Amino acid sequence: MRNTWTMAKREFAHYFVSPAAYVVAFVYLVILGIIFNINLNSSIFFGGPPQVVQWVFGPFVTLMLFLSPGITMRVLAEEQRTGTMELLLTAPLREWELVLGKWLAAFAFTAVIVFLSGLYFLITNAFTSPGLDRGAILAAYVGFLLMCAAFLAIGVFTSSLFASQIAAFFATMGVSIVLWLVGALFQNQTGAWADVINYIDLSSHYYNNFFSGVIDLADMVYFLSATALFLFLTTRVVESRRWR
């Protein structure tokens, strides 16, 4: 566990010295700001209550499909390309400690960006009466962070498969978007297959409950197990390097 912490610390610090991570954060917040502004303007023009949760998290989720690969593409791919993997795997460090440390750092960095979006709620809250529904906001944040956790685990996983960051980026995006859309294929169907696919579908676990202010244990389990599964797979891939 101590090694996980050591890894996570180094990795987290790395995000703040690498230009790529700043670009990711910057792009994210600029686009989010523009969309928020558009929504706010139309709300003022047409009237009606400010639906800040939808304004912020609607675009946030879509953007995350494209931005989380940018956050994780480097994590293991670069260690493989530059040979520092040899340093890590000849140190008394277990594979899962390495993988978990990498993911923790990616998650912490993402959480920083996500929490910056809290500004929109603070500002809107100050101008509305009787204020925003705090429970709904909390649920949306919890769900969103859980979803990020799963996206980032997918990203760490694909990063372990490639020595090329570009390959890792597109593979992550591909897997995430497929998991995001797959439910739509079976939208109006029933039967075992449809049930399975609908359960695997990532977006339904977010939009159906968290997005409307409900924290459902089943959805939490879904995201946590998806995260655990991909981190486990990553560990196996890193280990396989030893046995290949």
Partner 1 sequence: MIEVQGLTKRYGQRTAIDQLTFHAQKGEIVGFLGPNGAGKTTTMRILTGYMPPSEGAGRVAGFDLLTESLEVRKRVGYLPENVPLYPEMTVIQYLDFVAELRQIAGRQDRVDEVMELVRIDHRAESYIGNLSKGLRQRVGLAQALLHKPEVLIMDEPMDGFDPQEQMEVKKLIRQIGKEQTVMLSTHILAHAQELCDRVIIINGGRIVAEDTPERLSAQIAGGGRIQVLVDGDGAGLAEALRALPGVTHVRALSESRFEVETAPGTDGRAKIAQTVVNGGWPLLELHRDKATLEQVFIELTREDQAEAGDAAAKEG
Kindly identify the residues of this chain, within the stretch 13-32, that bind partner 1 according to CB under 8 A.
Answer: 14, 17-18
The distance of closest approach from Cβ of residue 2 to partner 1 in the complex, given in angstroms and rounded to an integer, is 7
Of 8 and 147, which CB lies nearer to partner 1 in the complex structure?
Answer: 8
Of 12 and 207, which CB lies nearer to partner 1 in the complex structure?
Answer: 12
Number of helical H runs and strand E runs in the chain: 12, 0
Q: Is the dihedral of CA 208, 210, 214, 218 positive or negative?
A: positive
Kindly identify the residues of this chain, within the stretch 56-85, that bind partner 1 according to CB under 8 A.
Answer: 82-85
* By the rule CB under 8 A, 38 interacts with partner 1: no
Contact 175/200 with Cβ under 8 angstroms? no
* By the rule CB under 8 A, 94 interacts with partner 1: yes
User: Per-residue DSSP letters for 102-121?
Assistant: HHHHHHHHHHHHHHHTHHHH
Of 94 and 236, which CB lies nearer to partner 1 in the complex structure?
Answer: 94
* By the rule CB under 8 A, 163 interacts with partner 1: no
Q: In the structure encoding, which two tokens stand for residue 238, read together?
A: 């890193």
Of 4 and 72, which CB lies nearer to partner 1 in the complex structure?
Answer: 4
Amino acid at 139: A
Give the residue ranges of DSSP H helices in 47-164.
52-72, 77-82, 84-89, 95-116, 118-127, 134-161
Backbone angles phi, psi at 113, to 5 degrees: -65, -45
From 34, 38, 91, 185, residue interacting with partner 1 (rule: CB under 8 A): 91
Of 19 and 47, which CB lies nearer to partner 1 in the complex structure?
Answer: 19
* By the rule CB under 8 A, 244 interacts with partner 1: yes
The distance of closest approach from Cβ of residue 101 to partner 1 in the complex, given in angstroms and rounded to an integer, is 10
Of 32 and 98, which CB lies nearer to partner 1 in the complex structure?
Answer: 98
Closest CA to 236 of 24, 21, 228: 228
The distance of closest approach from Cβ of residue 90 to partner 1 in the complex, given in angstroms and rounded to an integer, is 4
Contact 205/93 with Cβ under 8 angstroms? no
* By the rule CB under 8 A, 225 interacts with partner 1: no
Of 90 and 188, which CB lies nearer to partner 1 in the complex structure?
Answer: 90
Closest CA to 202 of 168, 241, 175, 172: 175
The distance of closest approach from Cβ of residue 231 to partner 1 in the complex, given in angstroms and rounded to an integer, is 20
What secondary structure letter does DSSP report for 191? S
Binding site for partner 1 (CB under 8 A): 2-3, 6-7, 10, 14, 17-18, 82-94, 241-244
